[in-house]
Structure 1
Amino acid sequence: MTKEYKPNADFTPWGPFVPANFKNEPITTTDIIIAAVVWAITLINVLWAAYSCYQQARSSRSPLRSVYVWLIYLELLANVVMGLECFLHILKIIRPSFFFYMSILFCWCIQVQLLLQIIINRIRIIVTDRRRSKMIMIGTAAIVTAINVSVFCIWIPARLQINKRYELINNVWDRIEKVIYLIIDASLNWYFLKVVKENLINNGLQKYNKLLRFNQRIIAVSLLMDVMIIAAMSIPNSFVYIQFHPLAYTVKLNIEMAMANLIKRIAISSSRKTGNAALAEEFASDDLSTSGAKSSGHTRKHTRRSSLIELSSNVFATKSFHDPQGRTVSFAPTGNQIKVTQDLYVRSEPNPEYARRDMDGPMGMGELKAGQGTVIKSKSMDDITEGGESVKSEYGQGKGDSDDEQALVIQGGSKGWGRLKG
């Protein structure tokens, strides 16, 4: 088990900045077994994460414009690339080089930055102070960027074995920056719990108790992944230790996506119970991104404007929607309200008191003979609301006359008032 793996393999370093006295780290059969087991577990979590990423991207209205979707996919890609490169290096397929070390470190920087931003995105969904959440996002990115720059300046010279001083500094600083990252991760999750408890649960939104309990349990697992990375630094082969990074960050990514799904389910179920269908629709098709470009603003605005607002009465409700011409129609009748009106017929009859004379009616209708009826078309209330028309008579309205008066003031052939029949 302590024998060197493939001792005769061509595993010499290549490329620039490699000193002549460079020595490869010994790779034993035990290292291969540990790395293979860790990589197998990582692949299982990668498949799970890939399915979750696909589901969340599919539920997004604009996946290509969603910052959250880009974050989870890039995080997953960085984990896969880093894990595969390390495993091939341990198998002595990829030889040591400056480019290899740069690619490993670049993937690690993406892992750290994006995962913290995913956590902050979750916080910004709940927090009410938008300015404070933005400062948290910027401050975290600045601190982690400074750590990444320092690691570039120390880790690569130590890997290339430039001198012993870099190697000693790297052994100390590598552990320090992992502890700093653990503290940042724990602080962000603690702040999320604090916001949920103070702003939501204490204000009467008991539906978030489930989210709080789930987050309290899952945070312990997420922080254990950081502790696992720190503990793995004691493994003699440094690249076997690096193999734990993709596993830890993939598990943490799965935790964050599970948290996002839980927030969405709570919002949808609560909105449906309270009758707020618009909010349920918003969360059902949203990507839970709070920092992306608002490219789908028109769609969201239309969704809100077409929302169903349920009142306390079971009979009355108000529905706002748009007709095909883009006009807004409000107060559409629902429940037991009148939806359809019946056609009314106005007929004129001969009046013996007056002589018959040929003249046009006051509305320009012409002569109405006995027995001849004029149909006044009426529209149903559905036609009015769907077509965007107002409730007006088919004929023009005279000055000072109401609709009912105008329907009756139609002179017959004998200068008599028309009689309204059912």
Structure 2
Amino acid sequence: MKAVCWQGVHKVGVEEVPDPRLINPRDAIIKVRKAAICGSDVHLYDGYIPTMMRGDILGHEFMGEVIETGPGVTNLSPGDRVVVPFPISCGNCFFCEQELYSLCENSNPNARLAEKFWGHSPCGIFGYSHLLGGYAGGQAEYVRVPFADVGPLKIPDAVSDEQALFLGDILPTGYMAAENCNIKQGDTVAVWGCGPVGLFAIMSAKVLGAARVIGIDRFPERLNLARRAGAETINYEEESTLEALNELTGGLGPDACIDAVGMEAHMHGVQHAYDKVKQAFRMETERPGVVRECIQACRKGGTVSVPGVYGGLADKIPLGAIVNKALTIKSGQTHVQRYMKPLLARIEAGEIDPTMIITHRVGIEEVPDAFQMFRDKQDDCVKVVVNMAS
């Protein structure tokens, strides 16, 4: 089969690889119909996630058709159209029983390696390094899905492939980011980054009752989409974000701030130059300018929600501001399985239109070029969908 494989920093390619096969009774084989390039894939492309190996199959955002199931999978049948969550979760451990699916105890075979980085291991993730299990990803014609009796969600006929695709990652990620803000009616929420997750965080904050949502970015096409989603906007290249937020909130600051950017933030000034140099020499694994700014901007007693991906160590985090402003910080990989059915219902009801963020559709052979286009924000690119079905 054809698959998109990591070949080194800034190098991905389409390769012929062996078809997957059932290994465990709870496995399923999915024929991928649509996949997507996710913002967190860029961190793999740029070489900031350790333990990638040449030939690793990429992709953790995909949907398709069930081809084969193991004897332990009784809820799916060949021919079912399903969307697959990116966290691989057993459904039975302490964390899964509390619906903390991205913290599954049983799905990362390389847990000891992850424990050395973070103290404890999260779940395994499709196509996202050997640190998180070394699982083959979904930017391929076929994929093996472990614990398929827990993860994949059947898609009703009335919902299209593209409407369902983002239920596996970025729509639940944006929703959980907004939910973590504990939004009350009348709240003001600021969202840094108007890429796919940021846009879904904006939509979700509005759905959850925020009176005002303010989107912060520098690209006109993303700011336009943020306004379409109901946000006021700040172009941080044209004005100071902190000053603008203070003016918009009467000096109080937003009730909640969402960092939908993560480890490769683009900022201005000496601190950003410092982060870029330290990250380039691997003396720091992040460029945490956005999370710093969220902490500084948030009102006293407010919440900072961090769905943006961070992998290791960051310098100059303003702990004093966290303590002295009594801030709450909430983060984590998304517990996708918890949100898929409720968000599917919102899609069916017309409350959220996931397809509004799609700007580019490509075939599998075009994915290497699409990675660079997406990374460099070329051609007004916001979200790339890969059409896999022949």
Q: TM-score range by the shorter chain?
A: under 0.3
After TM superposition, the score normalised by the length of structure 2 is: 0.22
Higher relative contact order (CA 8 A, sep 6+): 2
After TM superposition, the score normalised by the length of structure 1 is: 0.21
| Larger proportion of strand | 2
| Larger proportion of helix | 1
